[in-house]
Amino acid sequence: MNPNLHYLHPYPFEKLAKLKQGITPPPDKAHIALSIGEPTHPTPHFIQETLLAHIQGLGVYPTTKGILELRMAIAGWLSKRFQIPADALNPDTQILPVSGTREALFSFAQCVVDASGNEKPVVVMPNPFYQIYEGAALLAGAEPYFVNTTEATGYLPDFDSVPEAIWRRCQLLYICSPGNPSGAVMNQADHEKLLGLADKYDFIIASDECYSELYDDEAKPPLGLLETAYRMGNSAFKRCVVFHSLSKRSNAPGLRSGFVAGDAKVLQHYFQYRTYQGCAMPLLTQHASIRAWQDEQHVLENRRLYRDKFAAFITILSETCVVNKPPAGFYIWLKIPAHCKLDLLPGETTDCAFARQLFAHENLTVLPGSYLSREFDGVNPGAGHVRIALVAPLDECIKAAHRIKDFLFLLGK
């Protein structure tokens, strides 16, 4: 067995299941699940119709690179969305379709990390983080280095705190903007700083932008790494690779469709890796993906639905605690109020106690923040927070807000 397997932590939802084990919630309250970031808005009908129209594609082996029409549709979307000239992206060398960004974010590290040297390589990542980053680093033989995101930093990573010795060993940097779980968005200055560091210390930036199409202000869509790189004169997108998906944008998590784009030299090696990995996207999925990337109306409607849920949820909950609306994403990153009188089990953090007791009292599931982070530099930045995914229908989100409000009132007595 790969000796690095034993370094892997249990997945957050495995921990959550254990936390809830043995608890019988009130039977008169229907369960509301706000723990998993799984979109539940309807998948556009045209995606389903296109899948059926190309069902014969099941009889054909798909190629790793995918059909040109898909790569051209992706290039067109990237150009329009991130204000990059149409001729700046080569569909043949700078775009690869992937079977969902989860597999791509993981496999990318296996491809680009070189653990053959005398010094152990480092993969830098935000903390809290999408646990795939950590697992990918560990199984590639690298050392994860966590950069805390706290309330004091606006829930953005404090990259100024990273020692030079770490940057010298860094081979890969994962960033996530809009962030999971906070929804915080990096600006151009943040990107420019990281691109400067990547040039100086020769590492690759893997920018997870899967939440980029879920944002509050239509006049201020989140910035993309390729957008900043092009503005800086890095028209070849050197050391930049971005990851996008239809899961959140188009409410199609089961489609398993996304793409990576950026540095042609890096993607040439990644393409070679993927020809052996065997994750080619089925032809019918490719045709459905073309339709999805070419349509923006369903994305506009998607954002409207989330805005309605945020507005209703926050209006109700703000009567009891401080709750901030994120600029993007579909999570509420709730800081547990200091007045809460929680019954802590031995060694239990406040966020775990909050999630456990909320389930016991209200039959409502949220995710403890400490499950999404690691203690680093004496701090677990996820502790004291819970992640609430506003993925349920509006009426369920409203019920959930009232239940959390009642629970907070009970804890404050």
pLDDT in tens, 72-87: 999 999 999 999 999 9
* Rounded average pLDDT over 5-14: 95
**pLDDT (0 to 100) of residue 233:** 97
* Rounded average pLDDT over 206-225: 98
Least confident of 248-252, 344-348, 368-372: 344-348
**pLDDT (0 to 100) of residue 339:** 87
pLDDT band at 243 (very low <50, low <70, confident <90, very high): very high
* Rounded average pLDDT over 329-352: 94
Given a contact cutoff of 8 angstroms between Cβ atoms, the answer to whether 65 and 226 are in contact is: no
Q: Report the share of the chain in percent with pLDDT over 70.
A: 100
Mean pLDDT of the chain: 96
**pLDDT (0 to 100) of residue 37:** 94
pLDDT in tens, 352-380: 999 999 999 999 999 999 999 999 999 99
* Rounded average pLDDT over 43-63: 96
Q: Which residues of 169-206 are buried (b: 16+ CB within 10 A; e: fewer)?
A: bbbbbbbbbbbbbbbbbbeeebbeebbebbeeeebbbb
pLDDT at 413 over 60: no
* Rounded average pLDDT over 213-222: 97
What is the C-alpha to C-alpha distance for residues 368 and 351, in angstroms, rounded to an integer? 5
What is the C-alpha to C-alpha distance for residues 289 and 40, in angstroms, rounded to an integer? 18
Least confident of 257-261, 277-281, 358-362: 277-281
**pLDDT (0 to 100) of residue 234:** 97
Which token pair is 4? 């690095």
Q: Report the share of the chain in percent with pLDDT over 90.
A: 96
CA angle 204, 207, 211 (to 5 degrees): 175
* Rounded average pLDDT over 149-175: 97
Does the domain made of 3-42+298-411 have the CATH classification 3.90.1150.10?
yes
Same topology, domains 3-42+298-411 and 46-294? Answer is no
- Give domain limits for the chain: 3-42+298-411, 46-294
pLDDT at 129 over 80: yes
pLDDT band at 100 (very low <50, low <70, confident <90, very high): very high
What is the C-alpha to C-alpha distance for residues 105 and 87, in angstroms, rounded to an integer? 26
Q: Give, as one character, the DSSP assignment of residue 383.
A: T
pLDDT band at 412 (very low <50, low <70, confident <90, very high): confident
**pLDDT (0 to 100) of residue 117:** 87
Fold of the CATH domain 46-294 = Aspartate Aminotransferase; domain 2 (3.40.640)
